[in-house]
Amino acid sequence: MKTVMKSWCAFVALLVPAIAQAKEVPANKPETKVVEATAEKPVRAKVQLTETGRAALAGAKDVAARCKGLRGPERMQALEQAAGAYDKVATEFAAEPAVAGAAAFAAGDLWRQHGSFPLAEKDYLLAAEVDGPRFGQRGLMGAADMQRRQKRNDDAMATYGKAAALDVGTPRAQDARLWQARLLQTSGRLDEAITAFQAALESARPGRPVVEASNYLALALVQKGDFEAAERAIAHAEQALGADEDPIVAERLKKAIESMSARKALQRARDKATRAAKDAIGLEAAQKRTAS
């Protein structure tokens, strides 16, 4: 009997810590899951709008809806009224960033459609300032586009740079880098543009972004007269084709590679150089015959 009691006591002594440990696991598991989810995939807090703010945005949206189907002067007038309605909301709800940012960005889009680029630029910058988490990069990109449309290339270059720096891995950041390079190219700073295109290519995501950056780089190299380097840039784009196993995506990527404008530009440039060389040889031969 004593032996049985001793065995039972020993079993209980081992069981109690195990039960205590089992009770602690459920309490720890949810906490661990939250930490892991936050580290791997941050969840953006849902935007909370006041009832008055939501109603104000809805009212401006109703005004903007009147633009649909209109053309000519009537459309321009409707766009102006809609943009003004959103501007009013942005001003009246300056203390509520979520409302002011959404209103300012919407106004910027409407002023852009209206052709009033300075007003659109102002609103895009306001949206980026008052609600950075949602409109920081989008607002800066919109403002840079408006500066570019106004031929203010230096301002656009700087604003594109700010947009790219906000979140370097987004498609908008890649667009900003490409626009910086394109502005350098149109400004006659070809060597700087080629360097910028190369940097954009290095940061491009696999797939279509690589093809797009390779195409711009090849076009700049063709303009410089470096045909071999341009051909290498095109070949680099072709290597992106095997990176995706999805047959539908691969087919689209193949078509994008085949339709690269740099291909035709390179061929035209080489044909022109060949004709020029033949003309030079023919001219030299004619001059020799005349001299003799």
Break the chain into its structural domains and give their ranges: 55-166, 199-292
Q: What is the pLDDT of residue 34?
A: 31
Compute the distance between CA of residue 124 and CA of residue 37 in angstroms, rounded to an integer: 33
Residue type, 93: F
CA distance readout (Å), 69 to 66, 80, 108, 259: 8, 15, 20, 35
Compute the distance between CA of residue 31 and CA of residue 33 in angstroms, rounded to an integer: 5
Q: Following CA atoms 146, 151, 155, 156 in sequence, which dihedral angle do they give, to the nearest 10 degrees?
A: 50
Q: What is the pLDDT of residue 40?
A: 37
Instruction: List the chain pLDDT tens, one digit each, 292 residues.
Output: 444 344 434 433 433 343 344 334 334 433 333 323 333 334 455 678 999 999 999 999 999 999 999 999 999 999 999 999 999 999 999 999 999 999 999 999 999 999 999 999 999 999 999 999 999 999 999 999 999 999 999 999 999 999 999 999 999 999 999 999 999 999 999 999 999 999 999 999 999 999 999 999 999 999 999 999 999 999 999 987 765 567 888 889 999 999 999 999 999 999 998 886 665 565 565 566 665 5
The class of domain 55-166 in CATH terms is: mainly alpha
Q: What is the pLDDT of residue 288?
A: 60
- HSE on the CB side for 65, CA within 13 Å? 6
Cα 101 from chain centroid? Answer: 19
Cα 191 from chain centroid? Answer: 24
Alpha-helix runs per DSSP H in 152-240: 153-166, 171-186, 190-203, 208-224, 227-239
Q: What is the pLDDT of residue 199?
A: 97
Q: What is the pLDDT of residue 17?
A: 42
With vertex at residue 234, the alpha carbon angle to CA 233 and CA 236, rounded to the nearest 5 degrees, is 65
Ramachandran angles phi, psi of 47, nearest 5° = -70, 130
pTM, full prediction: 0.78
Compute the distance between CA of residue 34 and CA of residue 203 in angstroms, rounded to an integer: 32
Q: What is the pLDDT of residue 136?
A: 98
Q: What is the pLDDT of residue 241?
A: 76
CB 64 within 8 A of CB 113: no
Compute the distance between CA of residue 236 and CA of residue 249 in angstroms, rounded to an integer: 18
Residues in Cβ contact with 120 at an 8 Å cutoff, skipping those fewer than 6 apart: 107, 108, 109, 110, 111, 112, 114, 142, 146
